[in-house]
Amino acid sequence: MRLVEAGCEVEVSPDLLPVTLARDGVVLIQQGSVAEVRALLDRWTVPVDHPHQVADGLTVIAPRLRTDDGGNEAGFTDLPLSPHTDRSLHAQPPSVLATLMLTPARAGGSATLVDGARVLTLLRLRAEDAAIAGLRLRTTTGQLDPPVVEFVSGRARIRYRDDRIAGPYSTDGRLDLVAEFRRLISETTRFLHLGAGHGPGVVRECPV
């Protein structure tokens, strides 16, 4: 398994993975296996439970028959997904996510990546942190409203989804800020085509 910096072929030492993720937000996996990725992450992370996991911290994504879970099962189809962070409505979502392609897709097969640090930098040119902290995710049932951007100890954690399960809104009525956040998400999105044994490791926290 090789770890390389995004956008170049500079190899990353496994010992420097946490530091590189903190700096760049993403590290690319090449020629990896599930066992190798798990062994690497087990060195410095703790698995987070997922309702669809097959083992601690491990979820297999493949098209399957739909149940009654609605939009939360959209990732288990062959349809494209809009940008989102994993477990966005969970009280303590995972800080690090690794995805590995086991079988190349006959069509599609791209990972959608958004530069959260860039989004936040540009958003802060338009609004103060207090207004940004007023951005929340509202579910269709109105039961949860976790922050889209959570400022903690000099860092920011970003959570996002915009679908029929939940979407962003402003507690201050800043419709312009919601629209700007959506625009920045779209403008900073990039697509990474994945082959067998390839995948991104991403972190959803960034320094502020």
Query: Could you read off the pLDDT of 64-104 as tens digits, one per residue?
Result: 766 555 556 777 777 778 899 999 998 889 999 999 999 98
Q: How many domains does the chain have?
A: 1
Q: Classify residue 138 as exposed, middle or buried by CB count within 10 Å of its CB (0-12, 13-18, 19+).
A: middle
Helix (H) or strand (E) holding 5: strand 2-5
Q: Residue 141: its pLDDT value, please?
A: 82
94: phi then psi, degrees, rounded to nearest 5: -65, 145
Q: Which conformational region is residue 15 in: left (phi greater than 0), alpha (psi within -120 to 50 degrees), or beta?
A: alpha
| Domain containing residue 147: CATH number | 3.60.130.10
Task: Summarize pLDDT for 29-71 with one digit per residue, the tens.
Answer: 999 999 999 999 999 999 999 888 999 999 998 887 665 555 5
Domain with 55 in it? 2-207
Residue 183 has pLDDT above 90, yes or no: yes
* Among the listed residues 74, 78, 77, the one whose alpha carbon sits nearest the alpha carbon of residue 86: 74
Q: How far is Cα 168 from Cα 136, in angstroms, rounded to an integer?
A: 5
Q: Is 16 helix (H, G, I), strand (E, B) or coil?
A: helix
